[in-house]
Amino acid sequence: MLKTLPLNARGIPASRIALGCMGLGGGWDHEPLTAENIRQGHDAVEAALSIGINFFDHADIYTRGKAEKVFGQIFKDRPRLREEIIIQSKCGIRLIEPGDTSNTFDISGEHILRSVDGTLSRLGTEYLDILLLHRPDPLMDPEEIAEALRQLKKAGKVRHFGVSNMSASQIRLLQHYCDEPFIVNQLHMSLAQISWLDAMVSVNREPWKDITFPEGTVEYCRMENIQLQAWGPLAQGSFSGRSLEGQPENIVQTAALVSSLAEQKNTTPEAIVLSWLMTHPAAIQPVIGTVNPKRIAACAGADKVGLSRKEWYELYISSRGEKLP
């Protein structure tokens, strides 16, 4: 039985699945938006709404701000929509620019405040429902971050806060200084990205040393009522139609198993892949990254598939590529 989302328990009426908006706005360049970019945005939003999705995930860097600009135009075209949906965005990554050698991370107070103002301007809204700190910054000062979040909350610019790609210890450090609770942690989790499970089943075993997923993070989020969100939950289509040429045997076999289960249950491979995540008792909220209306529609009913314990383990072990101890 699927658990209630921790967001719902906090009074935030979030849909079981969220739509990630990274694919909106065209290329990751400085080219202006086109009419086609806006049309694509409308089509993606309409497809999401049609299957009950009311939660939309952004980041200030997505297509260099153009994804948020697309939504800004959608809000202009559909002014009532803003109050009907939940908007989450993220900040904390500085994209590589000419002369740079890499992206860098920045969750300084100054950068957070400036980023939120930019996001609100591009979206054409006065507030974010949720702001996530996108990546852990080795130079982060938790007291400085706390003050920035306090200012955003007081100004009514952000209603709730969370993090992305952070461990339990990193969240605890920030929470020690911040008055507002962190209510989301968005992590890379999918049937292809299973280190979060391997970290659990490999305790006190030799493979433990090779697992980088931080121990205790999933458990901590469950105990603290922090919504676990999964980015990349469809595994870039590896189990739902993408070419498997050159893929390892475990991925090929798992794709075949997903297809077989989808046929047995009269549903789509996408729904099976999402259902596998959503069956976990942590009440994980998948953030699907596709903006293709047909693929969005294929995710409908994932929360009603009903995988058995046996089927869930068959998928996990197949993806893992080796038996459990």
Structural domains of the chain, count: 1
Determine, yes or no, domain membership for 173: yes
Which conformational region is residue 20 in: left (phi greater than 0), alpha (psi within -120 to 50 degrees), or beta?
A: beta
pLDDT at residue 325 in the model: 83
* DSSP per position, 298-319: HTTTGGGS---HHHHHHHHHHH
Neighbouring C-alpha atoms within 13 Å toward the C-beta of 47: 21
pLDDT in tens, 48-66: 999 999 999 999 999 999 9
pLDDT at residue 206 in the model: 64
Please, which pLDDT band fits residue 200 given cuts at 50, 70 and 90?
confident
Please, which pLDDT band fits residue 99 given cuts at 50, 70 and 90?
confident
Supply the residues annotated as catalytic.
62
Determine, yes or no, domain membership for 170: yes
CATH code where residue 113 lies: 3.20.20.100
CB atoms within 10 A of CB 95: 13
pLDDT in tens, 312-324: 999 999 999 999 9
Print the domain residue range for 144. 6-320
Across 261-280, average pLDDT = 98
pLDDT in tens, 147-181: 999 999 999 999 999 999 999 999 999 999 999 99
Strands 128-133 and 158-164: parallel
Asked if pLDDT for residue 1 goes beyond 60, the answer is: no
Determine, yes or no, domain membership for 166: yes
**Quick one: DSSP state of residue 242?**
-
Determine, yes or no, domain membership for 1: no
Determine, yes or no, domain membership for 303: yes
Determine, yes or no, domain membership for 132: yes
Determine, yes or no, domain membership for 325: no
Determine, yes or no, domain membership for 103: yes
